[in-house]
Amino acid sequence: MTNQPKQLSLTTKVLIGMLSGIIVGLLFNLTGLQSDGSFVKTYIVDGAFFVVGKMFINALTMLVVPLVFFSLLCGVCSIGHLKTLGRIGTKSFVLYLITTALAITLAILLASTFAIGQGMNLESESEFIEKSAPPLTDVLINIIPTNPIKTMANGDMLPLIVFAIITGVSLIMVGRKAKQLIELAEIADEVMMKMVTIVMLAAPYAVFALIAKSVADLGLELLSQLAAYVAVLVAALLLHLFGTLMLIFKLLSGLNPLTFIKKMRTTQVFAFSTASSNATIPVTLKTVTNRLGANNSIASFTVPLGATINMDGTAIMQGVATVFIANIYGVELGITGYFTVILMSVLASIGTAGVPGVGLVMLSMVFSQVGLPVEGIGLVLGVDRLMDMVRSAVNVSGDAMISTVIAKSEGKLDLAIYSNPDAGLVDDDEVRLDEQVEIEIAETIQKTHDKS
């Protein structure tokens, strides 16, 4: 009997990549190897690490539009009924808004309890250039795409979802004649999923590069300056993730939250390293369907919708930042002020996509609404990239949690998959081409060639 060494799972490899990224990044930062103009900074951190990380994020982003489009198309076609579609839509919308509202309330309570920022007088480290968040009227109008090709080219999620749903509904209505087109969409969806697997295999190296660069650039110094803000923020994020979300999960689905947490690890690391729920959509979708057992008819709809409108982690950052800045500037917000903050950030999260740094844009909108000085954002800017990584991981966990709950409530959750710890694990074999298939494909191509 040959004693083959056991292959490490992708999750383990990604975690190793992450840890080594932290170690190497810290090493560069603390030893001063990464000073401006040095070899390490120019060629390794801003060179190799930057390029590898950026290429990986590009590869993930490349998959988002075709994947969302085709899987949503298949999803709508397999749901088949407009009424069911409407019910799933309403349920997910309401649950997404409720969890976001709970998230920010928890954040405000926690930050107020610890009175962070009181008696502190910090100078702004970096400059914040204010960008305005889209007004609600524009958000509503832009849900309907004027040009679907432009929508796809821009990667605008809400109009893309609308266009895919209308196309799917029309395919159902056309009926038998559209059967081939539906089948084609199913094949395209499978091909896109395979691409996700291929891209995911590069993750351990890319995650290493992304994290090493962030840590090398940021170091620990900034963290200690804003220690209270960072500590309360991270505590609120963890409390929401493991407390509130898991409680809601247990109450609404009756499933074991520990299984959920274990199966979400890889997706969270992806969101953490890319700081983007949008770029993580392919991985979230794969996890929710293949690892957690939700049917694609539900997940193809709830996951991209969640990545766009559901941002619990971001809402938490806004709650903590609001209390922090209000305390620093000695502004008394009062109950009405805090209610406005809750309402504004829930609304703001609907119109902004899950891309890096968008939380700050939304924060400026919240600040101007409640009369806090927008330049206050400069105070938390230094640590925001790191916090963005953590909150993005919480954001995608919320999307996956609600997706699983909705699938369960619709009877579209495969419990055997959910409870199987190895279900849907990505491994190298998945992308290995079968030699026989390879020969068959080559023969078919040859035959077609000969005929013409």
Residue type present at position 362? M
- Please report how the helices 257-274 and 277-286 are oriented relative to each other, as an axis angle in degrees rounded to 10: 140
For residue 413, the SS3 value is strand
Q: Is 358 in the site for ligand ASP (CB under 6 A)?
A: yes
Q: Is 217 in the site for ligand ASP (CB under 6 A)?
A: no
Q: Is 287 in the site for ligand ASP (CB under 6 A)?
A: no
3-state SS, one letter per residue, for 319-365 = HHHHHHHHHHCCCCCHHHHHHHHHHHHHHHHHHCCCCCCHHHHHHHH
Cβ contact 192:21 at 8 Å: no
Q: Is 310 in the site for ligand ASP (CB under 6 A)?
A: no
Q: Is 311 in the site for ligand ASP (CB under 6 A)?
A: yes
* Nearest-10 Cα torsion for 94, 98, 100, 101: 130
Q: Which is nearer to ligand ASP, 74 or 316 (CB)?
A: 316
Cβ neighbours around 92 below 10 Å, total: 23
Q: Which of 133, 196, 355, 366 binds ligand ASP (CB under 6 A)?
A: 355
- Angstrom CA distances, 318 to 345, 348, 361, 387, stand at 7, 11, 10, 11
The encoded tokens of residue 198 equal: 């291929």
Cβ contact 297:71 at 8 Å: no
| Least Å from the CB of residue 362 to ligand ASP | 7
| Least Å from the CB of residue 72 to ligand ASP | 19
The interface region with ligand ASP, picked from 60-68, 225-233, 271-279, 417-425 by CB under 6 A, is: 271-279
Q: Is 319 in the site for ligand ASP (CB under 6 A)?
A: no
Cβ contact 397:79 at 8 Å: no
Window 359-388: residues binding ligand ASP (CB under 6 A) = 359, 388
Q: Is 273 in the site for ligand ASP (CB under 6 A)?
A: no
The interface region with ligand ASP, picked from 58-66, 168-176, 202-210, 357-365 by CB under 6 A, is: 357-365
Q: Which is nearer to ligand ASP, 77 or 393 (CB)?
A: 393
Buried b (16+ CB within 10 A) or exposed e, 266-282: bbbbbbbbbbbbbbbbb
Q: Is 392 in the site for ligand ASP (CB under 6 A)?
A: yes
Q: Which is nearer to ligand ASP, 157 or 292 (CB)?
A: 157
Q: Which is nearer to ligand ASP, 99 or 392 (CB)?
A: 392
Q: Which residue is nearest to ligand ASP (CB)?
A: 359
413 phi and psi angles, rounded to 5 deg:
-115, 125
| Least Å from the CB of residue 184 to ligand ASP | 31
Q: Is 314 in the site for ligand ASP (CB under 6 A)?
A: yes
Q: Which is nearer to ligand ASP, 293 or 354 (CB)?
A: 354
Judged by CB under 6 A, the number of residues near ligand ASP is: 15
| Least Å from the CB of residue 205 to ligand ASP | 22
Q: Which of 213, 286, 291, 391 binds ligand ASP (CB under 6 A)?
A: 391
Tokens 């560069």 locate to 28
Q: Which is nearer to ligand ASP, 192 or 362 (CB)?
A: 362
In terms of phi and psi (left: phi > 0; alpha: psi -120 to 50; beta: otherwise), the region of 424 is left
Cβ contact 374:368 at 8 Å: yes
For residue 240, the SS3 value is helix
The interface region with ligand ASP, picked from 15-23, 291-299, 351-359, 366-374 by CB under 6 A, is: 351-359
Residue type present at position 345? S
Q: Which is nearer to ligand ASP, 279 or 298 (CB)?
A: 279
Q: Is 275 in the site for ligand ASP (CB under 6 A)?
A: yes
The interface region with ligand ASP, picked from 65-73, 210-218, 356-364, 425-433 by CB under 6 A, is: 356-364
Contact positions toward ligand ASP, by CB under 6 A? 275-277, 311, 314, 354-359, 388, 391-392, 395
